[in-house]
Structure formats: structure tokens, C-alpha cells
């Protein structure tokens, strides 16, 4: 979508996001809609109610000064006011009531977008609400994985068995370094406050892997005693590993025959050598890098590798929206949007390559970077103040999106962020090294 997107286009995007959200919970029963109490995911019933509340807050109550459609909505669904661990204890409405609330909010929003002129402020809040709903859709997908429930039935998604076995995509891209514009250009129709604004940084010459680390490569680390060898782990990582009793990635197990399996939703599958390793945390990623004598790329290095051009790869950002240019993502360019319910091999989607030769810098798996999630210079929070500011300092930055990320959310400058011990998210990584 462009800066002059119409109200009807925004309404259709919101309707699409809602169809996806409901697809992700459609087959869950009432017991599953609350789910086991875990510190890393939300009750699905609460999560979808929160999405409706957020849409009402910003597009009706904040923007239009409309009275609340539910008098109790703030006490039920305000994530900033309701501690995570208490969300299972709330007197949540029945599922049909929550879905009725979602529909009522969306009906009012869509009618207004169709019938009234859309100014820049309305566009901003519509983008915010749309991106927020897409993020929670992705969160519901990893909630299903966390609980070991069946993979979702998403309209239009291909059978996961159709991805093929693929091949390795080895080697490094050599990046000469220099001055680079890190962050979002002002021409984009919507960006989050943590992306603002493009500013010059100096990047030393470096090398970055052309592809994400594969399952076969990570298995070599596991079988070399990677989870027992202290020298490859940071101090914080070793403390985490000991406390978690981690011996391998969270959804892997070894059979008595010696064959390794991984759990994908409710199914145990043999490891796929050329698919990226996924569901590893920042500590595991940095330990693997130690094993290989490499490191994670910084945010600036990652963005330079994604956005740099072959003509001027190190002097400044080309301001391209995606690694391949400004054209929107498509299934040929990137594994996004849940179009396949499985990761692609690391050599897939050559049409999505950036100019410096890296593959899949958008889609397939989120990629951990070495960087703490910190504000850019002159950071100022946007109206949704809770989005970025509370998480600066103790979270790590990730880039690139995953197979369930909606393509309309992503651009080279988009920053995701999680605590370094999170293993449930759809995250992998690629390695980097200093220039030879």
C-alpha cells in the first residue's frame, strides 16, 4: 500500500487480517481457547478480544471519540493494564460474545472507512491497527506450536509437504563497509517509532552468510557437545542453559536409533537438512556462532546486507523497501503470509535475493542479531507509547520476518524484539564475521 491508500483499501486489508485471525482459532475448542497457563503465550480467547479492543481504542474511541462498545473492555483486554499472568483469571466473556464484539467493532470501522474521507491521521491509525492484528495472528500461530496443537487451517495455504528438500546455499557476501543510512526513510507510508529515522552510521567491512543456518549445520553443533561445552557460550547464555537443562533445540528429540526428530505443531518429523533451524533463542544462536568461530551480525550489518546495492553497497542505503527493490512481496520472492505451513529450504526464493547476494532476508525465519534493542538517536514515542519504549535495553533485535509474518508488515528497516531466552518464536539466524 502507498501513502495515498484509500479508505476502501484499508477496510479490505482489515477484513483480510480478521479472516486470518479467526482462521487461526477456528478449530480450537473452548478449553483450548483458554489453553494451559504459560508465561510465554496468551490465552487465545483473551488474545482475540485484545485485538478487537485495540482496534476500538485507536480507530473509534481515540480517533472518533466514540463511547466504548463494551463497558468492561478496558478491564478485560488492555494489555498495558492487565499483567500477563493474570489473564487466565479474568472473567472473560463467552467465545461467541468475544467474537461478536470483534465483529461489531470491525463493522463500525469498515463503514466509516467506506463512507467518510480518509485523512493522514486516520491512515496512520488504520495502519497501526492493521499491523497490530497481523502481529497477534503470528503470535497465535506460535501459540499453537507451543501447545503442540495441529497446524492451523489457513485459507489458501499450500500443503507443507510441497516445499521440497532443497540444497545448501553456502558462502558469504563480502561487504566493504562504510557510511550507511540505518533506519526508515520518511517517504514510507507507515513505520513504527523504533525505526525513526534514517541516520548515518559507520560500518566496518564484514562478511555475512548468504543463507540462514540449516538444521543439518545446527545438528553438527549439538552432536559436537555444543550444549555441554562452556567455551562457546556467553556467561548469561550458560546460566540460561543450566537453568533450562537445555541439551538441544526445544522441539527436537533423539530416537534410540540415533535419528533426530523435530516437532512441527502436533507432528514429529525427521530433521530436514536444508531447512533453516528454527525455535532457537539468542543464547543458542551465539553459542553456535562460537562453535563456528563466527558471530551474529549487528542490526546495522544486517540492514546494510539487505538494503545495500551492488553499485554502492557501503556508502548509504538505497532506500529500497525490500531486499529486491520496492515491488511488493510475492510467494516467488519470499516465504511469508502463511502461504505454506512449513519453512522453505534455504536455497528457495532466488527472486528475493538482495543486490549483495544474500537470500531470504525477508521471510522464512526471523533472524537474531547481535544488537540490543535500543532507540535510534532522537527517539520519540508515537501515540502507542507501550510499543517500543518499555522494551529497550533487555530485549534483542531480530530482522526479516518469518513464514507466518504478513508481507504488508515488513520492510528492510522493520525491527522485531524479544528477550534472549525466547525459544517459542519463529526465529533462526545467519552468521557473520569480520572481513578477512
pLDDT digits (tens, 9 = 90+) for 33-52: 999 998 899 999 999 999 99
Question: Considering the domain boundaries, does residue 300 fall inside one?
Answer: yes
* Residues 182, 81 within the same domain: no
For residues 214 and 129, state if they share a domain. no
Q: Is 404 domain-assigned?
A: yes
Q: How far apart are CA 311 and CA 204, in angstroms?
A: 18
Mark whether 79 and 214 lie in a shared domain: no
Are 273 and 406 part of one and the same domain?
Answer: yes
For helices 120-147 and 7-23, give the axis angle rounded to 10 degrees.
Answer: 10
Q: Do 62 and 208 fall into the same domain?
A: no
Q: Domain containing 180: what range?
A: 156-436
Which of the listed residues 147, 170, 203 is the one where a domain comes to its end?
A: 147
Instruction: Provide the residue count of the chain.
Output: 436
Q: Do 344 and 374 sit in the same domain of this protein?
A: yes
In a shared domain, residues 186 and 45: no
Please indicate, yes or no, whether residues 162 and 137 belong to a single structural domain of this protein: no
Q: Which of 147, 164, 194 is the last residue of a domain?
A: 147
Asked if residue 292 and residue 175 are part of one domain, the reply reads yes
Let me know if residue 253 belongs to a domain.
Answer: yes
Separation of alpha carbons 85 and 41, rounded Å: 10
Bridge partners, 222 (sequence order) = none
Through-space distance between the first and last CA atoms of the chain, rounded to whole angstroms = 41
Residue 2 lies in a domain: no
Instruction: Let me know whether 195 and 310 are in one domain.
Output: yes
The residues of the chain scoring below 70 in pLDDT are: 1-3, 159-164, 309-319
- 374 neighbors 298 (Cβ within 8 angstroms): no
**Residue with the three cell numbers 492484528:** 133
Number of domains into which the chain is organized: 2
Supply angle C-alpha 163, 285, 343, rounded to 5: 10
Q: Where are the beta strands (DSSP E) in 142-203?
A: 172-175, 178-182, 199-203
Q: Do 174 and 281 belong together in one domain?
A: yes
- Contact status, residue 213 vs residue 431, Cβ threshold 8 Å: yes
User: Quick one: which H or E segment has residue 369?
Assistant: strand 366-372
Q: Answer whether residue 236 is part of any domain.
A: yes
Residues 151, 160 contacting (CB under 8 angstroms):
yes
DSSP 267-313: EEEE--TTSBP-S--HHHHHHHHHHHT-BPPPHHHHHHHHH--SSST
- Is residue 400 a contact partner of residue 366, using CB atoms and an 8 Å limit? yes
For the beta carbon of residue 42, count every other beta carbon within 10 angstroms: 20
Q: What is the pLDDT of residue 317?
A: 47
Q: What is the pLDDT of residue 320?
A: 87
CATH number, domain containing residue 334: 3.90.1580.10
Do 296 and 167 lie in one domain? The reply is yes
Percent helix, strand, coil in the chain, to 5, is 35, 15, 50
**E strand or H helix at 260:** strand 260-264
End-of-domain residue from the set 91, 117, 147: 147
Q: Are 424 and 265 in contact (CB under 8 A)?
A: no
Query: For position 2, what pLDDT does the model report?
Result: 64
Q: Considering the domain boundaries, does residue 1 fall inside one? A: no
C-beta of residue 154 within 8 angstroms of C-beta of residue 341 = yes
What's the pLDDT score for residue 66? 87
> At 126, which CATH number?
1.20.120.450
Amino acid at each position: 500500500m502507498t501513502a495515498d491508500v484509500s479508505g476502501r483499501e484499508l477496510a479490505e486489508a482489515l477484513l483480510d487480517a480478521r479472516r486470518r485471525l479467526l482462521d487461526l482459532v477456528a478449530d480450537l475448542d473452548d478449553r483450548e481457547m483458554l489453553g494451559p497457563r504459560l508465561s510465554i503465550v496468551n490465552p487465545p480467547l483473551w488474545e482475540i478480544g485484545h485485538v478487537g479492543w485495540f482496534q476500538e481504542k485507536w480507530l473509534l474511541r481515540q480517533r472518533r471519540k466514540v463511547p466504548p462498545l463494551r463497558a468492561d473492555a478496558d478491564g478485560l483486554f488492555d494489555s498495558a493494564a492487565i499483567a500477563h499472568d493474570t489473564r487466565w483469571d479474568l472473567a472473560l466473556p463467552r467465545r461467541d460474545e468475544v467474537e461478536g464484539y470483534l465483529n461489531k467493532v470491525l463493522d463500525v470501522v469498515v463503514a466509516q472507512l467506506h463512507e467518510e474521507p480518509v485523512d493522514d491521521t486516520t491512515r496512520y491509525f488504520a495502519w497501526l491497527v492493521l499491523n497490530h492484528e497481523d502481529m497477534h495472528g503470528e503470535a497465535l500461530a506460535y501459540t499453537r506450536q507451543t501447545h503442540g496443537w495441529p497446524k492451523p487451517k489457513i485459507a489458501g495455504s499450500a500443503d507443507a509437504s510441497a516445499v521440497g528438500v532443497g540444497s545448501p546455499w553456502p558462502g558469504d557476501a563480502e561487504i566493504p563497509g562504510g557510511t550507511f543510512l540505518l533506519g526508515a526513510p520518511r517517504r514510507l507510508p507507515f513505520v513504527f517509532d523504533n525505526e525513526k529515522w534514517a541516520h548515518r552510521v559507520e560500518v566496518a567491512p564484514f562478511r555475512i552468510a548468504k543463507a540462514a543456518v540449516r538444521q543439518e549445520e545446527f545438528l553438527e553443533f549439538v552432536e559436537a557437545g555444543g550444549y555441554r561445552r562452556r567455551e562457546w557460550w556467553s556467561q548469561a547464555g550458560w546460566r540460561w542453559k543450566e537453568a533450562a537443562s537445555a541439551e538441544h533445540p526445544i522441539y527436537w528429540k533423539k530416537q534410540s536409533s540415533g535419528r533426530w526428530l523435530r516437532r512441527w505443531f502436533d507432528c514429529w518429523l525427521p530433521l530436514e537438512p536444508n531447512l533453516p533451524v528454527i525455535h532457537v533463542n539468542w543464547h543458542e544462536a551465539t553459542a553456535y556462532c562460537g562453535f563456528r568461530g563466527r558471530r551474529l551480525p549487528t542490526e546495522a550489518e544486517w540492514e546494510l546486507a539487505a538494503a545495500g546495492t551492488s553499485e554502492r553497497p557501503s556508502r548509504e542505503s538505497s532506500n529500497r523497501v525490500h531486499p529486491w527493490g520496492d515491488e511488493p512481496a510475492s510467494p516467488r520472492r519470499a516465504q511469508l503470509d502463511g502461504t505454506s505451513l512449513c519453512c522453505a529450504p534455504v536455497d528457495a526464493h532466488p527472486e528475493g535475493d538482495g543486490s549483495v547476494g544474500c537470500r531470504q532476508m525477508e521471510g522464512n525465519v526471523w533472524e537474531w542479531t547481535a544488537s540490543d534493542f535500543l532507540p535510534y538517536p532522537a527517539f520519540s514515542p508515537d501515540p502507542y507509547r507501550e510499543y517500543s519504549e518499555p522494551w529497550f535495553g533487555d530485549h534483542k533485535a531480530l530482522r526479516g520476518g518469518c513464514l507466518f509474518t504478513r508481507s504488508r508488515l515488513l520492510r528492510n528497516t522493520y525491527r522485531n524484539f524479544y528477550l534472549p531466552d525466547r525459544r517459542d518464536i519463529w526465529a533462526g539466524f545467519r552468521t557473520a564475521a569480520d572481513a578477512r
